[in-house]
Structures are given as structure tokens and as C-alpha cells.
Amino acid sequence: MGVKLGHNIKVMVVDDTVVYRKIMKDVVSSLANIEVVASAPNGDIALKKIPLNKPDLILLDVEMPVMDGLETLQAIRRDYPEIGVIMVSGINERQAAITMKALSSGAIDFVAKPSGSNMAENIEFLKQSLNPIVSVFQSKRYSQLRSLGESSTQEKKSTFQQRTVAPITEAVAIKTYSRAAELPRKIDILAIGVSTGGPNALAKFIPLLPENLNIPIVLVQHMPPMFTKSLADHLNSKSRLAVVEASNRDILENNKVYIAPGGKHMILEKENNVVYLKMDDSPPVNSCKPSVDKLFESIPHIYKGNILSVIMTGMGADGLNGVKTLKRAGCYSITQTADSCVVYGMPRVVVEAGVSDEAVDLDDLASRVTEIIKKNGLIDIGRKKVEK
């Protein structure tokens, strides 16, 4: 069902409103190497069109009559696992919650429908949101097809179906070195930065952390307003630690995860020996709001060097300057490995700048973080290190 090497990625647009189908088709058609092959007003019709139009990627509205986005996604994952799905969600609490379920059910990512009244700005917003996700999908798909070209026809089908359910990952070679930086004597706070692919990655990380870490955890996930609250609720329902969307003047508590709210920067401040969170409405940093850099750069003056940082899957370079600031204070820096990232962007720049002490696979991340926080023991067996 895939495209041939060098051919366009074939896209189906599914939305219950004529206007939005038109907007999404125009936006997608403006992207390089993309061909819109079909559209549908609901999931039921979309499923009937798949065998005829053979899309590689589906942009799927969350809320629709007859068959909604979540039901449709589950049917696609069951019957057509090779097709990528990007959810398209309105910015309200109900749709944000459904989107979180969709991401955990196999959607590769989501974009939020713009709520402004300026049509040109809305279209540009959708282009900026979709382009990097589609580009990563294209890169992965072409890589898969190159691999498949070396197989027989029967092997090709089997390998394709097996590979396409794996994370979309940019292939990057990781060099090794023999010795990591020294760990701080103790860890007083865990700081996490993550973006594209983050909700699913966090769902494989945060719920596996023990309830007695005895430190606070602060986290920036690049997301619009509403979605960070749904992400926090989703993680909280699965985790032994309490997970909340942070609010202004929240006092940091041990064994609690604070997620920066979408549309606000989150920074740490201290007053009368009490550490609290401040929500900052200053301009975006690295085109991000919340920004990992803003959070990380606020931490050292309070916690000195007793800090563990983790940079996970995501596009761009947000977090790099923050990690540099933390490293100057003596922080221990972990990055997620390339092979376990949806997008090896944010971890990659930290590695290339020489400020990652250790690269850890997503499946091992919770156990390694717990080991460092509770034992402060540097065990090298099976660890991937990154060259400084």
C-alpha cells in the first residue's frame, strides 16, 4: 500500500465540515511531495475509501458524527497498521482528552485547529504545525521503502507492516565514550524537556517511576493550552506519582510532577526558603511557549548542581541552552537515544554540543533515572554513552 521511491506521500483528509476539509486539503497540498488523494466527512466513509485510494497518511478530525476520530483510529490501526494517522483537534477540554487517548492508541501526533478569526493566519498556523510532522513521516517512509527495495515481494510486505508500527525516528549514529561525568552527591530535582512524540514517550516513562523518589519533577512538553491539562490527567491516572498541570505560585512538593501549562513559560523562584513555580507570559523562546530553556535556566540558582536533567524526543533545539546552563552548575545530563525517539532533534543538539553525559533508551529511562536519584550509582553495564 505504500508509495514508490520518489513519489508523493498520499494523504486522506477526514473532517465533518466542508470548510475545514477544504482548508486542510489546501494546506496539505501546499507542502512538498504531498498529494491529497481523498477526503471524507466521517470515519465510516473514510474506512470505505481506504482500499480504493490507498493513502499513506490520514489527517483525522477528533470529533465527528457517525464514527468519531478515536473509533476510526482504532479501526485503522487494526486493519491498516501501515497507515500513519495525525489527529486534528479542536482546542477544548473534551477534544484534548480524546486526543490524548488517540496518541496512546497509535496516532503518530496531533495538530490543534487554530481558533483565530484571520483565515490567512490560521492557514499559516496549520502549515507550520503540519510541515515538520509530515516531513518526519516522509523521511521515515522513504527510509522504509529503501530497505524494502532490498527484499523480495513477499518479504517486503511483511517487513513493511512490522516496521511501520515502530516510532518514526531519524537515523543518527551515536558514538561512544568510556567515562561519563561524575554524578552530583545528591539529586534534589528532576527536570524534563520533551516535544514531538512526547505524550507517548512520557506514558512509557513517568508511570514507571516509583512513588518515593522524594524529589519534585518539573516538565515542559511543547503543547497548546488545554492539551497540557489533559496530558497531566492522562499521566496521573497511570502513575504512582501525582501528576498535575502547574499553576502560578504552586509550591514544589516531593513525589509530584509539574507540567508547564500550554501557552505559558514556567520558571522556579524561591522566597523565604520555599521554592515555588511562576507562570511567565513573556514572548516565546525558540518559538516555544512553554520553553524548556526558560525552565532549565531558572533552576541552578535554587538547586545549585544537585540536578538531573532529561531531554527526550522532540524537534528543534529548545533545551540546549538550558542544559548548558545546568551543566555549568554541575548537573548530570541524560538524553534519550536516537533509536527510541520519534524525532531525534532536541536530544541530538544536546549530544552534539557535548553536554549529554549519558544516552538512555526509552524503555530503560525510568529505571536509570530511579537508580541515579535513589542510589547515585553510575553503573555502566548496557549503557549507551555519547561522545563529548
Q: pLDDT by residue (tens digit) across 295-325?
A: 999 999 999 999 999 999 999 999 999 999 9
**Three-class SS of residue 232?**
helix
Alpha carbon dihedral 312, 317, 322, 325, in 10-degree steps, equals 120
Kindly name the residue from 61, 89, 188, 222 that is annotated as catalytic.
Answer: 222
Distance CA 384, CA 368 (A): 12
**Fold agreement (9-163, 189-375):** yes
222 an active-site residue? yes
* pLDDT at res. 146: 54
Distance CA 47, CA 4 (A): 23
* pLDDT at res. 8: 86
* pLDDT at res. 145: 56
The whole-model pTM stands at: 0.83
195 an active-site residue? yes
* pLDDT at res. 250: 98
CATH topology of domain 189-375: Rossmann fold (3.40.50)
Q: What residues does each domain of the chain span?
A: 9-163, 189-375
Kindly name the residue from 39, 129, 195, 333 that is annotated as catalytic.
Answer: 195
364 an active-site residue? no
Answer for the pair 258, 266: CB distance below 8 angstroms, yes or no.
yes
CATH topology of domain 9-163: Rossmann fold (3.40.50)
Kindly name the residue from 61, 318, 333, 357 that is annotated as catalytic.
Answer: 318
